[in-house]
Homo-oligomer: A and B are copies of this chain.
């Protein structure tokens, strides 16, 4: 009975003091790193292989890897593994860089790992079965540790591992469109994480969790501030704040980048010009870059948005983008810095189809950029629409390092409340064949193949992260952050695999299958209820919240939705073939042939490239008008279907997150209906045709929809 009493006392003490005082509901803060307890059957297969973590200390990334492994295993296996720096026991996990004495006698393929790759291998060393996690750098070890954790999180066997992996792109970078005021342009997840006023003294513990999450998916770089840049970030006061963040991120293998306002030499440098060919300007940038590296030794480099939407740039001085980019790249080169130069440009007084302008401007510059310049090209030529064909620059600049820019934040896909998994969209773009120089050169291959030995590669994602408790504004938008990291690591990855991993880690393996089904269909639903059949850019003005297909009064033609859909009594769509703007001509001949022909263009791009009569007969057998209405209703119906699928998960996932998703789906459904009703009402006023049978008329007249204003919509520019 003595033992009984002792044990009861222990249990009682644990219940009363060891346990948390309050029930901490899951709220999404832990992202895909929940490390939830394993079921006992699987746990029994794991525990013998994670008895101990052995790592020589001193390398910050290896230390971070060991800490993270300990954290994850404690959560999943239920006890903290032993820690050691030498002398592995049976079942140890060895974390080691090449040359470590821990690996003596084991041949590992370090030559295949590059700087950041890793091997995870089951082995026997000195008679002990161990699991090796090794790389050429601490960063590789860190990624390997996250891989081992993922294997366990997704319930894979770990007894006989032999995994070799390495990232296919060098710069895997988030672009935060965060202002120094902490507002976020196109942000739907609260304020900027960066609390500038309290930096550098106070480093919010959340900065570390941000870095952990990024490291777990291979992101190795972050641009802290908005591409619509404020030069103040380059002043010493702010650079010391930036350095404090860089210090937090360093053990997690993340380098800090900043956007540079092209006119900074004037605004904070006291010069009269920012002309890139003026020696004083080049000298200013060189001195500024040297100053930055003095404060942040592993600073990554700059991003510049130049001569675009009102930003200053080299064109202001009749210099080319290459002249501007190279001047700044030369300042960065001695430090190993990278210059990311955005190709998202369209001119204020240019009547040319906006679709064509970036190509027109940049294609002639092919081969003229320094090797440490990455020209950052959006996935499509317009602007992050629910669907666009891939940007014609991909494949068209074979001598220029091009990097992909995806938008993780859903500026055009329903903000935070619409469930829209972007993995399928990104896979569609990355797997698109550019046919340049020949069949098979997909966009993925274009960006992952360095243009020469020293050239950079990369992928940028416009972040959807803010200080909301769940980071991304919704539970499901976490999946887009996650997927971006996975595609940046491997542009050949598949959206469904990524969704499966994310769902299993974030919601639990038991709930993953129906969640993956929801995710895989979700983006097409948005396309259908917002911009079906190749329509695009029909959103309301400025904030892009809700439908505005009727808008025609903005100062510049290409700001108006009517510019994009061109609906009239005869039909709808933008003729971008040779009879129209010939933007299509910027693509390879095979695509010109396929997309230029009404018989072979896919429905999904029909109105992107063609002005099509309302009575045009579609593959479905319906007229274009009937098909359009049908697609709108299909989109709404797909949201209804998701609501049903989610209802089926009640009780199978935690209640707080479940309820949030349920409520967000309800918002999405209402807004999908709003999109459908407003769009149908508007297009019907032009097509002047009856709705197809079985499709309900919009409940209000067109003026009612036009009168809806949302002046306080989130995410607006400063």
Of all chain B residues, the one with the shortest Cβ separation from A12 is: B78
Interface 1/0s, chain A 155-197, versus B by CB < 8 A? Answer: 0000000000000000000000001111100000011000011
Residues of B with C-beta under 8 A to A7 = 4, 7-8, 11
Interface 1/0s, chain A 1-33, versus B by CB < 8 A? Answer: 001100110111011111111101100001000
Pairwise interchain contact B22-A75, C-beta atoms closer than 8 A: yes
A366 part of interface (Cβ distance < 8 Å):
no
A581 part of interface (Cβ distance < 8 Å):
no
Cross-chain contact of A201 among B24, B205, B663 (Cβ < 8 A) = B663
Cross-chain contact of A17 among B18, B37, B71, B203 (Cβ < 8 A) = B37
Of all chain B residues, the one with the shortest Cβ separation from A8 is: B7
Residues of B with C-beta under 8 A to A196 = 712
Stretch in A303-311, A547-555, A633-641, A664-672 touching the partner: A664-672
Of all chain B residues, the one with the shortest Cβ separation from A205 is: B656
A460 nearest CB across to chain B (Å):
24
A711 part of interface (Cβ distance < 8 Å):
yes
Residues of B with C-beta under 8 A to A202 = 417, 660, 663-664, 667
A439 part of interface (Cβ distance < 8 Å):
no
Residues of B with C-beta under 8 A to A71 = 22
A198-B417, A660-B202, A712-B181 known; A16 and B4 CB under 8 Å? no
Of all chain B residues, the one with the shortest Cβ separation from A467 is: B190
Pairwise interchain contact B20-A35, C-beta atoms closer than 8 A: no
Residues of B with C-beta under 8 A to A670 = 201
A566 part of interface (Cβ distance < 8 Å):
no
Cα–Cα distance between A75 and B19 once the two chains are bound (Å): 9
A415 part of interface (Cβ distance < 8 Å):
yes
Pairwise interchain contact B37-A16, C-beta atoms closer than 8 A: yes
A232 part of interface (Cβ distance < 8 Å):
yes
Residues of B with C-beta under 8 A to A182 = 714
Of all chain B residues, the one with the shortest Cβ separation from A77 is: B16
Pairwise interchain contact A21-B37, C-beta atoms closer than 8 A: yes
Pairwise interchain contact B17-A22, C-beta atoms closer than 8 A: no
A21-B35, A37-B16 known; A712 and B666 CB under 8 Å? no
A191-B191, A714-B182 known; A667 and B198 CB under 8 Å? yes
A15-B78, A469-B469 known; A666 and B201 CB under 8 Å? yes
Pairwise interchain contact A197-B20, C-beta atoms closer than 8 A: no
Of all chain B residues, the one with the shortest Cβ separation from A17 is: B37
Chain A interface mostly:
loop
Interface 1/0s, chain A 505-547, versus B by CB < 8 A? Answer: 0000000000000000000000000000000000000000100
Cross-chain contact of A714 among B4, B22, B37, B197 (Cβ < 8 A) = B197
A129 part of interface (Cβ distance < 8 Å):
no
* Among A22, A36, A469, A716: residue with most chain B CB under 10 A: A22
Residues of B with C-beta under 8 A to A205 = 25, 656
Residues of B with C-beta under 8 A to A43 = 16
Q: How many copies make up the complex?
A: 2
A581 nearest CB across to chain B (Å):
36
A72 nearest CB across to chain B (Å):
9
CB under 8 Å from chain B, chain A span 380-407:
none
Pairwise interchain contact A16-B201, C-beta atoms closer than 8 A: no
Cα–Cα distance between A19 and B15 once the two chains are bound (Å): 10
A691 part of interface (Cβ distance < 8 Å):
no
Residues of B with C-beta under 8 A to A467 = 190-191, 467-468
Cross-chain contact of A22 among B18, B35, B201 (Cβ < 8 A) = B35
* Among A19, A37, A198: residue with most chain B CB under 10 A: A198
Cα–Cα distance between A16 and B79 once the two chains are bound (Å): 8
Cα–Cα distance between A417 and B71 once the two chains are bound (Å): 31
Pairwise interchain contact A711-B22, C-beta atoms closer than 8 A: no
A34 part of interface (Cβ distance < 8 Å):
yes
A146 nearest CB across to chain B (Å):
16
A266 part of interface (Cβ distance < 8 Å):
no
A713 part of interface (Cβ distance < 8 Å):
yes
Cross-chain contact of A14 among B14, B35, B76 (Cβ < 8 A) = B14
A177 nearest CB across to chain B (Å):
15
Pairwise interchain contact A78-B16, C-beta atoms closer than 8 A: yes
Cα–Cα distance between A642 and B534 once the two chains are bound (Å): 64
Of all chain B residues, the one with the shortest Cβ separation from A179 is: B712
A21-B37, A78-B16 known; A197 and B713 CB under 8 Å? yes
Pairwise interchain contact B34-A712, C-beta atoms closer than 8 A: no
Cross-chain contact of A11 among B11, B24, B25, B30 (Cβ < 8 A) = B11
A21-B35, A75-B22, A78-B15 known; A667 and B714 CB under 8 Å? no
CB under 8 Å from chain B, chain A span 63-106:
71, 75-76, 78-79
15 A-B pairs with CB atoms under 8 Å apart are A4-B7, A15-B79, A16-B78, A21-B34, A21-B75, A21-B76, A22-B35, A180-B712, A183-B183, A190-B190, A191-B191, A191-B467, A198-B667, A203-B663, A232-B712
Give the 5 A-B CB pairs with smallest separation, nearest first.
A16-B78, A21-B75, A180-B712, A202-B663, A201-B667
Given contacts A15-B78, A198-B664, 7 further A-B contacts (CB under 8 A): A7-B7, A15-B79, A21-B30, A21-B37, A24-B24, A179-B712, A181-B712
